[in-house]
Amino acid sequence: MARGRPGGRVTKLLLSLHVLAAIVAIGPVTVAASAFPATARRAFAAPDHDLGPVRTLHRIRG
């Protein structure tokens, strides 16, 4: 009977956790980067220039 290499399950588990962590870490940055231009245009077009959302998205983007 052929056997896989030892620790194969652990390796798959760690790889899955690594990919999941990357998705969770990159997701908010991607959303902030895509929402930033439209939010900035709306903020600067408004007469009162509420820059709170723009600052928040800029902080998330890093």
Q: What is the pLDDT, as a whole number, of residue 6?
A: 62
Q: What is the pLDDT, as a whole number, of residue 8?
A: 83
Q: What is the pLDDT, as a whole number, of residue 2?
A: 52
Neighbouring residues of 49: CB distance < 8 A, sequence distance ≥ 6 = 43
Write the pLDDT tens digit of every residue in 27-44: 888 888 899 999 999 998
Q: What is the pLDDT, as a whole number, of residue 16?
A: 94
Q: What is the pTM of this model?
A: 0.57
Q: Which residues of the chain have pLDDT under 70?
A: 1-7
What is the per-residue burial (b if ≥16 Cβ within 10 Å, else e) of 45-55?
Answer: eeeeeeeeebe
